[in-house]
Every structure is written in structure tokens, then in C-alpha cells.
């Protein structure tokens, strides 16, 4: 059985969330759909709904966080792509069987109460992938 997934979101790391929101307000012609702080990931998020997916802007809440370290090394830009999966445990099992390594403990709680897990970019062609499952 294949991995049934859809694009959940594309995440962009930014140094100034309010300034980035202003840029995307201008580009999209509408305000952000919402904002959230995700303590477990040490980020403030603003998001824009884009049909069946969304754009997330990530600002670190502390410099020594994964997104903070990313910004220090690479500067602002594409951080990760999130794929929504129906069964995150089964998806992780398939990924690990294929030699893909999860980052950290997985799954854990992310934005919107979703269960998330990240896959190391070394095995995914250089792209940090997030697996994301709805709760409930």
C-alpha cells in the first residue's frame, strides 16, 4: 500500500514574522489566516490558507532552536515541506523501512494540534520533510 498524502504546507523560515506577513499580505492580497506559537518547536507561526494547503512563515522564539540555527546557517528561505498522511505511525514505519531517518522523537504535537514527525534531509534529496496527521 502506498503512502496516501497531500501537500499540507510549505514552511518558510523568517527573521521577522511581522515583516514577512506584510510581504505575503501584499503578494496574496489578503491577511494571514492565523497565528500560533508552537512551544515544542520554539517557533511563532503565521499562516495563509491556499486552497487545500497553506503557507507557513516560521520565526524562532529562541536563537538556539532548530529554526534559529537554520537561519544562522542559511538565512531566510524554504525550511520544509509538510505532507499530510492518514496514519503517521504507518507512514513512519514505511519511511524507516526505506532507510529514511526521523529527526527526534516522533510523532509529537505541532501546529494546530497535529501529530508531526520530520525526516532527515540526508535521505530525502536534501529536503526536510514533515509528516503531518490530523488528530481526532
Residue 1 has pLDDT above 60, yes or no: no
Structure confidence by residue, pLDDT tens digits, 15-36: 999 999 999 999 999 999 999 9
Whether 14 contacts 57, CB under 8 Å: yes
CA angle (26, 30, 36) in 5-degree steps: 105
Q: What are phi and psi of 134, to 5 degrees?
A: -70, 150
**Which residues share a beta bridge with 45?**
36, 58
Select from 26, 28, 42, 21 the least CA-distant residue to 111.
42
Q: In this predicted structure, what is the pLDDT of residue 136?
A: 56
Q: In this predicted structure, what is the pLDDT of residue 105?
A: 74
- Distance CA(3)–CA(72), nearest Å, equals 34
Structure confidence by residue, pLDDT tens digits, 85-128: 999 999 999 999 999 999 987 799 999 899 999 999 999 999 99
- Distance CA(9)–CA(115), nearest Å, equals 14
CA angle (34, 5, 81) in 5-degree steps: 50
Mean pLDDT of the chain: 93
Q: Which helix (H) or strand (E) holds 34?
A: strand 34-38
Neighbours of 66 (CB within 10 A): 19
Q: In this predicted structure, what is the pLDDT of residue 106?
A: 73
Mean pLDDT throughout 7-20? 98
What structural domains and CATH numbers belong to the chain? Answer: 5-133 (3.10.180.10)
Amino acid at each position: 500500500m502506498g503512502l496516501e498524502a497531500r501537500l499540507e504546507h510549505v514552511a518558510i523560515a523568517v527573521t521577522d514574522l511581522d515583516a514577512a506577513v506584510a510581504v505575503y499580505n501584499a503578494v496574496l492580497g489578503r491577511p494571514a489566516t492565523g497565528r500560533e506559537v508552537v512551544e515544542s518547536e520554539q517557533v511563532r507561526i503565521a499562516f495563509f490558507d491556499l486552497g487545500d494547503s497553506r503557507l507557513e512563515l516560521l520565526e524562532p522564539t529562541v536563537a538556539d532552536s532548530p529554526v534559529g540555527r537554520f537561519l544562522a546557517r542559511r538565512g531566510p528561505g524554504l525550511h520544509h515541506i509538510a505532507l499530510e498522511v492518514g496514519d503517521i505511525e504507518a507512514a513512519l514505519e514505511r519511511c524507516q523501512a526505506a532507510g529514511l531517518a526521523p529527526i527526534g522523537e516522533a510523532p509529537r504535537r505541532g501546529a494546530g494540534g497535529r501529530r508531526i514527525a520530520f525526516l532527515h534531509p540526508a535521505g530525502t534529496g536534501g529536503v526536510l520533510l514533515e509528516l503531518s496527521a490530523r488528530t481526532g
